[in-house]
Amino acid sequence: MKEAMFYERQDNRKVCCGLCRFNCLINDGDRGICNVRENHGGTLYTLNYGKLCAEHVDPIEKKPLFHVLPGSTTYSIASAGCNFHCHHCQNYTISQVTGNSPIRGIERTPQEIVTRAIAGNCSSISYTYTEPTVFFEFACDTALLAREAGLKNVFVTNGYISRDALAMIAPYLDAANIDLKGFTEGFYRDIVHARLSEVLDSIIEYRRQGIWIELTTLIIPGLNDSDSELQNIAEFIVTNLGIDTPWHVSQFYPTYKLIDHPRTPVPTLRRAREIGLAAGLRFVYEGNIPGEGGEDTRCPSCSSLLIKRYGYVIKSDRICNGSCLDCGAAIAGIYR
């Protein structure tokens, strides 16, 4: 165990955790909503520091990040736990820690992660699969060393980190893919067990901190797929983040507690993409349906095909130094 960051001691050996926006008040002997931070006699400990439940070399496109070093690989790590309890979580076997279950994983140090990333010819380290906020201490220590070694740092996150915690890691965080899971408080309350308003505030804070962000919405039939809701998401992005912010609209597969819901029809994704483009967004991508054409990047100025993708594989790349090879227009993102 390692003493946690971002908490305040209260009366009767209680602590208030300030790592994420739930601000859990934790009694002595109890854990927070993430189930990986535990109060021992008025001192809060993180239980998952350096205990990795997943560790892989991935294409950066898998995060998904389409405007961050396209075609590169990223060293992806996770520790168990999440502060959300989404009914449709695809990684529920590692994100959902129950009760007082022991936290297990492969022991790694931050320096070992950086060394392994370099040995794997990775250009970045991604804190992903579960929720990086709940293994913040390890992510922060690793990110600092990664930056010193010339690697980029990426969060794949639900967007519920506190402002103070984000401000601490922001100088070392280059990019984030943030899930904007829906656009009603009812959806967030019933399916995610969180608050939409806090996610929106967090997304805006990521942008204010100068971190490159891309958003992902997993479209679930009957729950968050109405034209009005998709229109509201697109308008939020345009108004608060800018037209160059990529939006990934992805196909849902029945899983976890939503096995009774059907897979998202391809026409629904097509419609979502049309809504985003009509709202003024320059880059709207269809996810989880490789080969359908919605994964490609086109120049917003001359419409030339710049990056041809099939799933996580780049078939061709015609962006040079962040610009279109045909007309020279700048393409927003992080490039070599």
pLDDT per position as a tens digit, 256-284: 999 999 999 999 999 999 999 999 999 99
Question: Is residue 77 assigned to a domain?
Answer: yes
Both 33 and 179 in one domain: the answer is no
Instruction: Dump the DSSP string for 242-289.
Output: -TTS-EEEEE----TT-TTSPPPPHHHHHHHHHHHHHTT-S-EEEES-
Q: Residues 139-152: pLDDT tens digits?
A: 999 999 999 999 99
Q: What is the pLDDT of residue 218?
A: 98
Task: Give the CATH number of the domain where residue 200 resides.
Answer: 3.20.20.70
Question: Is residue 237 assigned to a domain?
Answer: yes
Which residues of the chain have a pLDDT value below 70?
Answer: none
Domain count, the chain: 2
Distance (Å, whole) CA 66 – CA 195? 27
Domain that holds residue 9: 2-46
Both 10 and 137 in one domain: the answer is no
Question: Is residue 335 assigned to a domain?
Answer: no
Q: Residues 34-82: pLDDT tens digits?
A: 999 999 999 999 999 999 999 999 999 999 999 999 999 999 999 999 9
Both 76 and 178 in one domain: the answer is yes
Both 141 and 261 in one domain: the answer is yes
Both 69 and 159 in one domain: the answer is yes
Q: What is the pLDDT of residue 295?
A: 97
Both 111 and 57 in one domain: the answer is yes
* pTM over cut 0.75: yes
Peptide bond into 221 cis (omega under 30): no
Both 88 and 33 in one domain: the answer is no
Both 62 and 168 in one domain: the answer is yes
Question: Is residue 333 assigned to a domain?
Answer: no
